[in-house]
Structure 1
């Protein structure tokens, strides 16, 4: 399927690995001009080289307002206004039961998973609005609508992302800027690798054993009984970035194998 984005300019955050990098590969393959950003500039530059020789990459700490402004200046200077922005950067953040998590844990998680996306969008929104055609896609999580008691800061931040996406979709659709979210569940990324490594150490089992027990005990509705693959999420993101999604706005697409118990 031709996604109709050849020649469009896209910025993907959280793009040195995982869902962000898989999305960058797919958009690049569809002919988009792709720019990557992540916290570690050396890592994201290496990632960009693996996508294509014409792919640009800039490091930026999205929790730092001044760094976000510098990122905007660098991107605008290199490629001009964006047509597509995919906000994929995030962390698991503070974990534990509610009474075990202090203000610092909440602040770090909300700062990274909610306020950083706000800053990124605010910086690039004027350019996205100017072109008369734009796509903004947030990567949220199943946790936004089905919260888990051992990672409530992450759940709350991702619920905020869905509210942000819906609100923005109401503000700018008539200008041609369509805003949507994608909510994955238990995808094979460095984030869930770290989660399963910790679980294996805590339970005295293998990495694969940790995945199996997690699925049985923590994600009983994830019917395919496996971790998702980043390309399976990137395919949905790419569709929402495309000309084919011209009547999709303010939606949340779950890529979760049924992990969320309700429709």
Structure 2
């Protein structure tokens, strides 16, 4: 399927691994020019090198994939990201935020204010800073796609990770508000809500669970599915390409009448309709 994004410029944060990396790969295969960004300069450069083989018609003088390190919790770093991207590549028409952390975990009475602030700073305010930096250029160009990564946790909060849940609920509200603000300028804004995907973040969660319970990694995964995610009817972790496929669609001309939506890619994990 031709997604109609050949030659479009896409910026993907959290692009060094997991859903962000896979989304970058799919957009490159569709002919887009992609900038991947994350905090660690070495990891994002390594991701760029891996992604090069998926780029269409890349030449030394006209590369299709770039890497720019940035810290979304730092306003100056986000401004530098904006300025570097515009100077080296051009104005992005596609913005995909996959950067995020699990953040502070534990029951509500166990999490201090700093834990809340840190989680919200990365998972919510980082997105606010990113969109503010790039949305004006998208609006001026008259065409844009903004895809924000939420989570099943946004509508089905878990008691041991409430800061993350609150941040993701805020992302859904932000998505809807932005969609109402910028649709008239040709900029469509949507969210994707994954659940329990095979990523470095959930790997770390399962390693911690396995160590705590004295089990193997695979046993930790199975017990987590049974005890913590009983509504995942497929009874497995999702794959990054399953989420990236939804993101790629929402980035495309094929999604020209999709705005303010929340696409769940969760194997049935959210128990309600």
Shorter-chain TM-score range: over 0.9
What corresponds to 1:236 in structure 2?
246
Aligned residues: 263
What corresponds to 1:6 in structure 2?
6
Q: How does 1:166-181 map to 2 (within 5 A)?
A: 166-181=176-191
Deviation at 1:206, TM superposition (A): 0.4
What corresponds to 1:91 in structure 2?
101
CA deviations 1:4-45 (Å, max 9, x no partner) are 000000000000000000000000000000001000011101
Could you tell me which of 210, 221, 226 is aligned with 2:220? 210
CA distance in 1, matches of 2:168, 2:178: 15
CA distance in 1, matches of 2:8, 2:69: 22
Tell me the TM-score normalized by structure 1: 0.99
Deviation at 1:126, TM superposition (A): 1.1
Aligned Cα root-mean-square deviation (Å): 0.6
CA distance in 1, matches of 2:141, 2:124: 26
Tell me the TM-score normalized by structure 2: 0.96
Deviation at 1:108, TM superposition (A): 0.5
Secondary structure of the corresponding residue to residue 263 of structure 2? strand
Q: How does 1:129-140 map to 2 (within 5 A)?
A: 129-140=139-150
What corresponds to 1:23 in structure 2?
23
Runs of 4+ aligned residues of structure 1 deviating over 6 Å after TM superposition are none
Q: How does 1:20-169 map to 2 (within 5 A)?
A: 20-52=20-52, 54=63, 55-169=65-179
CA distance in 2, matches of 1:78, 1:140: 29
Secondary structure of the corresponding residue to residue 206 of structure 2? helix
Mark the runs of 5 or more structure 2 residues left unpaired by the alignment. Answer: 53-57
Secondary structure of the corresponding residue to residue 59 of structure 1? coil
Deviation at 1:49, TM superposition (A): 1.1
Deviation at 1:128, TM superposition (A): 1.0
CA distance in 1, matches of 2:201, 2:194: 12
Mark the runs of 5 or more structure 1 residues left unpaired by the alignment. Answer: none
Deviation at 1:96, TM superposition (A): 0.2
